[in-house]
């Protein structure tokens, strides 16, 4: 759950670094994140960028998590998906992508996570325009797939892998991409 907050606009490599540092400083718990001095948390999560905002978000989330669910993931994730999702979205700094990542990766709830790679890959293949609201893209996918957390988990991970390895913002490498046989709306396909 902390990872889902820290990964906003950060690489997973830097998030892992921050998580390791939080762990070794015994700060990776709702209690520590809510009670330790903000300056200490900021220093530990610095590698993820926007560390002031992220410290505040971790604290807001941790306070809510303790207050509402006694810091019990079991209690939290046994509630209906829609209810936990709307509670998460009501917290400052938690948007739909973060809320859904917490639900899917933290609690195995069957929700599809829409990220920048999803918009890019789907957009280039003409499945979406690219500027649709988050929930419209999510619903489009969820209407067409069985509600299985493992499936959404794997699907999202594969979209991220394609985005990172092939579907670069400036130079998509369609010739080497596993989706290269599907039509795209790119005018010029470059490599590299």
Binding site for ligand SF4 (CB under 6 A): 121, 124-125, 162, 166-167, 172-174, 177, 179-180, 184, 186
Residue 3 vs 163, nearer CB to ligand SF4: 163
E-only strand ranges, 96-150: none
Task: Work out how close the CB of 140 gets to ligand SF4 at its nearest, in angstroms, rounded to a whole number.
Answer: 17
Are 147 and 140 contacting, i.e. CB atoms less than 8 angstroms apart?
no
At its nearest, how many Å lie between ligand SF4 and the CB of residue 124?
4
CB of 179 to ligand SF4, least distance (A): 4
Please say which residue, 85 or 124, places its beta carbon nearer to ligand SF4: 124
Whole-number minimum distance, CB 68 to ligand SF4, in Å?
Answer: 40
- Cα→Cα distances 72→5, 14, 25, 77, Å: 18, 26, 21, 9
Q: Which is nearer to ligand SF4, 86 or 165 (CB)?
A: 165
Between 79 and 125, name the residue whose CB sits nearer to ligand SF4: 125
Give me the DSSP letters along 55-93.
Answer: HHHHHHHHHHHHHHHTT-HHHHHTS-HHHHHHHHHTSTT
Can you spell out the DSSP letters for 5-40?
HHTTTS-HHHHHHHHHHHHHTT--SHHHHHHS-HHH
């Amino acid at each position: 759950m902390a990872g889902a907050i820290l990964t906003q606009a950060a690489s997973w490599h830097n998030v892992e670094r921050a998580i390791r540092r939080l762990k070794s400083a015994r700060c990776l718990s709702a209690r520590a994140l809510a009670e330790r001095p903000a300056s200490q948390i900021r220093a530990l999560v610095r590698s993820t960028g926007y560390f002031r905002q992220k410290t505040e978000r971790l604290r807001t989330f941790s306070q809510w998590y303790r207050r509402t669910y006694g810091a019990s993931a079991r209690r939290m994730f046994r509630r209906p998906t829609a209810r936990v999702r709307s509670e998460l979205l009501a917290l400052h700094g938690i948007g739909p992508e973060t809320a859904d990542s917490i639900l899917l990766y933290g609690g195995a709830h069957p929700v599809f996570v829409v990220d920048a790679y999803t918009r890019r890959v789907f957009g280039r293949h003409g499945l979406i325009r690219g500027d649709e609201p988050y929930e419209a893209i999510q619903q489009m996918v969820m209407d067409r797939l069985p509600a299985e957390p493992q499936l959404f988990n794997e699907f999202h991970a594969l979209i991220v892998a394609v985005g990172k390895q092939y579907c670069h913002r400036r130079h998509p490498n369609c010739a080497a991409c596993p989706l290269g046989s599907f039509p795209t709306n790119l005018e010029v396909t470059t490599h590299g």
